[in-house]
Amino acid sequence: MVAAAARANRPAARTVKLERMNDSSDSQLERLVLETGENPTHAVIWLHGLGADGHDFEPIVPQLASASRRPVRFIFPHAPARPVTINGGMAMRAWYDILGVDIDRDQDMAGIRASVASALLVRDGFSVKYVNDEVKKVLH
């Protein structure tokens, strides 16, 4: 009963926007952004798995108790669609090509590095926006 009451008192996350950003290769990378309150001071960047997109984890945000106690920005980037070798070359959302199940084989290091760069751009975008918002508060 206590858990049900706590869930009932949690504010629902609200969809702020579906954004497009430039990744390191100048292609467009979409992302879903949810905030649990005004002027978030915390951020979570949540990457989805093979074949999914950022919407897959969207429903979990209202269930996270810690996110209801403070304003948090959840950023769910969508990986680009690309051919995935392990799935017969079928194009699907993937952060990098998966060449096979054997971890000892060569991996798609270029794709992994590009995905890391994209995640860092998402992180840096939040940091820059947060710092700019804080500077505006001090100056006004």
pLDDT tens-digit series, residues 97-126: 999 888 787 889 899 888 888 888 777 776
The CATH homologous superfamily for domain 2-139 is Alpha/Beta hydrolase fold, catalytic domain (3.40.50.1820)
Residue type, 60: I
pLDDT tens-digit series, residues 33-90: 888 888 888 888 899 999 999 899 888 888 887 777 888 889 899 999 999 999 999 9
Residues 6 or more apart whose CB falls under 8 angstroms from that of 56 comprise 48, 49
Place of tokens 């194009």: 91
The count of other CB atoms within 10 Å of the CB of residue 7 is 12
Residue 139, CA distances (Å) to 83, 122, 123, 133 in order:
49, 26, 24, 10
Segments of 78-119 assigned E as strands: 81-84, 90-93
pLDDT of 91 = 97
pTM (2 d.p.) = 0.69
